[in-house]
């Protein structure tokens, strides 16, 4: 497959002549100026359910560059294939440039965007709770308060929304978390928590 961009021969493209590239999309796509470079990462494409398609792209997937984000469907599950963070447009972190083996199987699929912290669609409830626990460790609050927050997070992790149809327990626990760790659900934490907290609960707690 010809991975050069723009393709050397536009007529080789299955859909015919290509429209002009979008420089702003390319500028958003790499984390650092000049990446790919020795400290950078290649780009990955991944389906919404987390099936890895490619892990070693050194140019943006061409459809993304062209403003048509259609990278096709996953051959394993039929879900849309994504080529960038859905929030900020950064590439999905693939293999390190310096990676010697260059095998897709060596990639630990990233769960969060490494620029904006937004969870990728394949990250699970558990992943997002883990992220909040990591952020909790950095909070400037008492260890005793951290322990209480950890306990609430563990209960929320296990809470099945079917057992809490009106969101009473969720509201109680998230409310208690905000009381003990007022900064936890701000910044990066707000992104990890976004899809964990039901809209009704968010409104009740004044998070929106
Ligand atoms: Zn899939
Ligand atoms: Zn992002």
Q: Given pLDDT bands bounded at 50, 70 and 90, which one contains residue 29? A: confident
Centroid of ligand 2 to alpha carbon of 44 (angstroms): 14
For residue 117, which ligand has an atom nearest its CA? 2
Residue 116 resides in a domain = no
- The answer to whether residues 178 and 137 belong to one domain is yes
Tell me the pTM: 0.76
User: Which pLDDT score, from 0 to 100, does residue 187 have?
Assistant: 85
**Which residue range forms the structural domain that includes residue 168?**
125-204
- The answer to whether residues 102 and 129 belong to one domain is no
Q: Given pLDDT bands bounded at 50, 70 and 90, which one contains residue 101? A: low
For residue 112, which ligand has an atom nearest its CA? 2
Which residues have CB less than 5 Å away from ligand 2 (the ion)?
A: 85, 87-88, 90, 113, 115-116, 118
**In terms of DSSP bridges, do strands 52-57 and 81-82 run parallel, antiparallel, or are they unpaired?**
unpaired
Centroid of ligand 1 to alpha carbon of 71 (angstroms): 12
Q: What is the pLDDT of residues 133-149, one digit of tens each?
A: 999 999 999 999 999 99
Residues 57 and 45: beta-carbon distance below 8 Å: yes
Q: Given pLDDT bands bounded at 50, 70 and 90, which one contains residue 51? A: very high
Nearest Cα to 79, choosing from 49, 109, 54?
Answer: 49
Confidence check: pLDDT of 197 > 80: yes
Residue 1 resides in a domain = no
Centroid of ligand 2 to alpha carbon of 192 (angstroms): 12
Q: Is the model more confident about 140 or about 35?
A: 140
Q: How many CB atoms lie within 10 A of CB 21?
A: 14
Centroid of ligand 1 to alpha carbon of 74 (angstroms): 5
125-137 and 143-158 helices, crossing angle to 10°: 180
The mean per-residue pLDDT over the stretch 160-178 comes to 92
User: Which pLDDT score, from 0 to 100, does residue 75 have?
Assistant: 96
């Amino acid at each position: 497959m010809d991975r050069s961009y723009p393709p050397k021969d536009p007529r080789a493209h299955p859909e015919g002549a290509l429209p002009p590239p979008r420089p702003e999309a390319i500028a958003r796509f790499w984390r650092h100026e000049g990446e790919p470079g020795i400290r950078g990462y290649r780009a990955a494409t991944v389906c919404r359910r987390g099936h890895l398609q490619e892990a070693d792209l050194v140019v943006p997937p061409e459809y993304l560059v062209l403003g048509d984000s259609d990278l096709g469907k996953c051959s394993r599950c039929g879900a849309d294939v994504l080529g960038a963070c859905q929030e900020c447009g950064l590439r999905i972190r693939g293999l390190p440039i310096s990676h010697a083996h260059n095998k897709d199987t060596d990639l630990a699929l990233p769960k969060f965007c490494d620029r904006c912290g937004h969870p990728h669609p394949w990250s699970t409830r558990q992943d997002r709770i883990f992220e909040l626990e990591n952020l909790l460790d950095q909070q400037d609050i008492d260890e005793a308060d951290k322990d209480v927050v950890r306990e609430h997070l563990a209960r929320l992790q296990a809470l099945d929304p079917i057992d809490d149809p009106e969101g009473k327990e969720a509201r109680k626990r998230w409310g208690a978390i905000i009381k003990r760790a007022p900064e936890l659900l701000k910044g990066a934490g707000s992104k990890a928590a976004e899809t964990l907290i039901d809209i009704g609960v968010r409104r009740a707690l004044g998070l929106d």
